[in-house]
Structure 1
């Protein structure tokens, strides 16, 4: 089997459909000329969920370097600010953190509360403009985490997150999959190819000033989740990433950096009809598929 067939077989064994794009950042011919890349439905429009946070922290970092924002500015996070998820969302008490720490939490644990507060500060209207500036013509940013929660509540007829938590598990699968958050035309979405382009620009210091790109790389390297892309690579390979998760959607974009200097931008977006978010088999398949693509580019 060729590499595409091997990757298809990995996803089929996990019972998912997926899109994938992997790029060798330093290939002599490069993806622009059709070399140095492996793709599988790489131009399919897909929901990206929390992957959008890469653009968010990039915009924040650019504003910091430009002197428009003070990264040490303090933000008080209250009960009214909390959204479902990790990090500040789980705090029982008010917390005061810096803008810089909001960016860290948004990337390291995909903290929705931190991302929502940071988005308010940098300006939500700027993210579509940033995507356009970077040539991401098919990347659509339609609000942040709070907007996503509001849309999900409205689609199931819930007034609060607690009410949503009671209603959602009893919904039939077809009702869930009809929600706007699962439709790339009606929510934040992109393609695997465009996300690897974004990563390539960040790792080449071409997505903004070099210090801003370095900040994003540092935050992505501190992500705590390791069961997806990172699980596919051996010790010694540095994997930086950003996950995205919704029921039935397992997403991650990141960079694999080898000790010999090889650098590979990766985007894998998997979808399953089983709506559980805890599918370790799917996560591991994503890492295996990424490693298979990188091995092919490395001639292994």
Structure 2
């Protein structure tokens, strides 16, 4: 399948499908509406992870310091009451089982990514703050992505405060982390970038990008889903070709899974897996 063939196939998909495929540190081989904005869903958690590690590098936070596990958070909307996460819509019972106790920030960051825990995300975001997350996006070179509020901050959402991503920005963020693990870059020192890549490699939700790859292929990735939205972004590490970054964002009626917090496989998952498979087939021919 050529990239033109893939574009023609995606033209028939209802809604908006954005994509970015390219080797690290080079212009992309193929893009599709890569600067179109989509509701971020859980992909914003990678920017929160970066902000956390930057705060640790600067000495503002200690990743091994225990923090209280609570379920009350300040809204991003001034004057709004505090808000809580809904347990049925989370993906990780382990964090909820620790309510009233304390856990290390490092553990919360792991659950935020590998299990996509919303409660863990809001706890980490409460320690980091929204401004450092905005700085993380800017350092990655993101042009349109914003993290304006925590998850389930409905007062802020009603006021128009939201979380947005683009395929190009997500690719820049993941690609920057992968490149930064091997040489100094703008995001964080190599040990911190390597640690973040390791967490992304341990991702447990593998029903979209990873599903389009041969069994055992290493991919450092994060996905996100709510009704009407399904995204996946990752760095694929083939044994027989240079690494490449892939981001696919979909806002479509095909994304009808995940309404109860489960990463239910739906047609949007299969669509993203198909794009991932096409990129894998072209891995030897990517520009760069």
Which position in structure 2 is the counterpart of 1:45? 37
**Alignment match of 1:118 (pick from 124, 129, 132):** 124
Asked if residue 288 in structure 1 is aligned to residue 287 in structure 2, the reply is: no
**Structure 1 residues 208, 83: CA separation in 2 closer, same or farther (over 3 Å shift)?**
same
Q: Mark the runs of 5 or more structure 1 residues left unpaired by the alignment.
A: 156-179, 181-185
Which position in structure 1 is the counterpart of 2:6? 6
Which position in structure 2 is the counterpart of 1:83? 85
- Distance, in Å, in 2 between the alignment partners of 1:261 and 1:296 is 10
Q: Mark the runs of 5 or more structure 2 residues left unpaired by the alignment.
A: 74-83, 258-263
Q: Is the 8 A contact 2:85 2:119 kept in 1?
A: yes
Task: Trace 1:1-300 onto structure 2 (pairs within 5 A).
Answer: 2-9=2-9, 12=12, 17-25=16-24, 30-31=26-27, 36-80=28-72, 83-84=85-86, 85-87=90-92, 88=94, 90-91=96-97, 93-147=99-153, 149-151=154-156, 187-205=162-180, 206=185, 207-273=187-253, 276-277=256-257, 278-299=264-285
**Structure 1 residues 117, 295: CA separation in 2 closer, same or farther (over 3 Å shift)?**
same
- Distance, in Å, in 1 between the alignment partners of 2:242 and 2:255 is 36
Computing the radius of gyration from Cα coordinates, the structure with the larger value is: 1
The TM-score normalised by the length of structure 1 is: 0.78
Q: Secondary structure at the match of 1:145?
A: coil
The TM-score normalised by the length of structure 2 is: 0.81
Deviation at 1:218, TM superposition (A): 1.0
**Structure 1 residues 79, 39: CA separation in 2 closer, same or farther (over 3 Å shift)?**
closer
**Structure 1 residues 11, 114: CA separation in 2 closer, same or farther (over 3 Å shift)?**
farther
Count of matched residue positions in the alignment of Structure 1 and Structure 2: 261
Deviation at 1:236, TM superposition (A): 3.7
**Structure 1 residues 223, 20: CA separation in 2 closer, same or farther (over 3 Å shift)?**
same
What is the root-mean-square deviation in Å for CA atoms of aligned residues? 2.5
- Distance, in Å, in 2 between the alignment partners of 1:188 and 1:106 is 16
**Structure 1 residues 292, 76: CA separation in 2 closer, same or farther (over 3 Å shift)?**
same
More helix by share: 1
Q: Is the 8 A contact 2:231 2:248 kept in 1?
A: yes
- Distance, in Å, in 1 between the alignment partners of 2:255 and 2:275 is 21
